[in-house]
């Protein structure tokens, strides 16, 4: 399986109302550099099925979002029930998804 496909498979498994960090996705997908995850998500052609808005920085901060920027990303996450501890910082204590993959 191609690296991007592995990343997309992991991201597709994140349930609504939860997030994962780029580092988590990278570890599960077997990618050494979490920046590769960001690059793959920027190239995502199907955000409806590959919910790249559910991937955040390791400290919970929202990072870029190719489909409208971080304000759009935050709005989508809020609609999904994600809790924030700061303006653009996800409360990882309540919203982090721990994958069993």
> What pLDDT does residue 36 have?
97
> What pLDDT does residue 25 have?
97
**Topology of the domain comprising 3-95:** Arc Repressor Mutant, subunit A (1.10.10)
What are the residues facing 20 on neighbouring strands?
Answer: 55
Neighbour count for residue 59 (Cβ, 10 Å): 10
Catalytic residue among 11, 20, 37, 52: 52
In angstroms, rounded to a whole number, what is the distance separating the alpha carbons of residues 53 and 11? 9
Residue ranges per structural domain of the chain: 3-95
Neighbour count for residue 93 (Cβ, 10 Å): 9
Pairing of strands 84-86, 89-90: antiparallel
> What pLDDT does residue 99 have?
82
Q: Is residue 21 among the annotated active site residues?
A: no
> What pLDDT does residue 58 have?
95
List per-residue pLDDT tens for the chain, 101 residues long: 799 999 999 999 999 999 999 999 999 999 999 999 999 999 999 998 999 999 999 999 999 899 999 999 999 999 999 999 988 999 999 999 998 77
């Amino acid at each position: 399986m191609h690296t991007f496909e592995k990343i997309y498979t992991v991201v597709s498994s994140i349930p609504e109302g939860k997030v994962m960090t780029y580092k988590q996705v990278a570890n599960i997908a077997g990618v050494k550099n979490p920046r590769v995850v960001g690059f793959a998500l920027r190239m995502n052609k199907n955000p409806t099925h590959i919910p790249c808005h559910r991937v955040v920085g390791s400290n919970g901060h929202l990072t870029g979002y190719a489909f409208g920027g971080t304000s759009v990303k935050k709005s989508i996450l809020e609609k999904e029930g994600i809790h924030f501890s700061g303006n653009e910082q996800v409360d990882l204590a309540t919203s982090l998804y721990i994958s069993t993959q």
